[in-house]
């Protein structure tokens, strides 16, 4: 069972995004926000009741699952931007660095590598908003989380266009979709100067101007 709602503040595309995640036995919750100055501002809330299989995952697996859920739910906000994920389970960082893992976890880890992602530990008592969401039981229509990603290269999640598609199209054609928001257009134009498209590869210039 999926529950989500938007916050009162629109995103600032010049600022990094933050995700606060938490899990309980049968539910996961995530909050998307940004920090303007020292003050956190909520953009989106989301929570999900796990199915029987997911409920039997280990605690560490659930902690990774909620990150995958958040990245999928907030996909269009996060790709191509800096993202900080706060989780109250310290072993999550260890799991991401572990070379030997279950195939399911490997798929999730590869998905995370599609993002400019930083994982930070946060005490559960300070992660109250996501913790509260993870303990909610909602009555909305069922919308199960698909934790089996269909494309082996993980460029597509549930048929979503790769994050770099608009950027590559702009590099090749110099144009952007008419229905794209002005903020998104400005963001792509600003980022395009750091990338080079050499079919089939997208290259990015580092701070030292080395590709």
CA atoms within 13 A on the CB side of 187: 20
| Residue at 177 is within a domain | yes
Do 106 and 190 fall within a single domain?
A: no
Is 138 within 8 Å of 102 (Cβ atoms)?
no
| Residue at 45 is within a domain | yes
Domain holding 190, by residue range, is 165-204
| Residue at 157 is within a domain | no
Do 198 and 100 fall within a single domain?
A: no
Does the pTM of the predicted model rise above 0.85? no
Do 80 and 40 fall within a single domain?
A: yes
Do 130 and 174 fall within a single domain?
A: no
Give the number of domains in the chain: 2
Do 71 and 175 fall within a single domain?
A: no
Residue 98: strand, helix, or coil: coil
| Residue at 59 is within a domain | yes
Is 191 within 8 Å of 167 (Cβ atoms)?
yes
Is 162 within 8 Å of 156 (Cβ atoms)?
yes
Regarding predicted confidence, which is higher, 70 or 158?
70
Tell me: the pLDDT tens digits for 101-158? Answer: 677 777 887 787 788 888 887 664 354 444 544 444 444 444 555 554 444 333 333 3
């Amino acid at each position: 069972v999926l529950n989500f709602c938007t916050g009162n503040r629109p995103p600032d595309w010049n600022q990094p995004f933050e995700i606060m995640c938490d899990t309980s036995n049968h539910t996961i919750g995530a909050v998307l926000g940004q920090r303007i100055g020292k003050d956190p501002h909520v953009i989106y809330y989301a929570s999900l009741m796990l199915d029987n299989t997911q409920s039997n995952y280990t605690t560490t697996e659930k902690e990774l699952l909620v990150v995958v859920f958040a990245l999928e739910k907030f996909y269009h906000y996060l790709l191509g931007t800096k993202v900080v994920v706060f989780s109250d389970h310290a072993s999550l960082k260890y799991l991401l660095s572990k070379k030997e893992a279950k195939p399911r976890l490997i798929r999730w880890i590869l998905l995370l590598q599609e993002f400019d992602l930083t994982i930070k530990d946060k005490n559960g008592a300070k992660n109250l908003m996501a913790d509260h969401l993870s303990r909610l039981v909602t009555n909305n229509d069922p919308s199960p989380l698909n934790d089996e990603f269909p494309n082996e290269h993980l460029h597509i999640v549930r048929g979503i266009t790769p994050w770099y598609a608009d950027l590559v199209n702009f590099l090749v054609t110099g144009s952007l979709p008419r229905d794209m928001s002005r903020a998104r257009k400005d963001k792509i134009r600003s980022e395009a100067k750091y990338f080079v498209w050499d079919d089939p590869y997208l290259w990015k210039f580092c701070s030292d101007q080395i590709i």
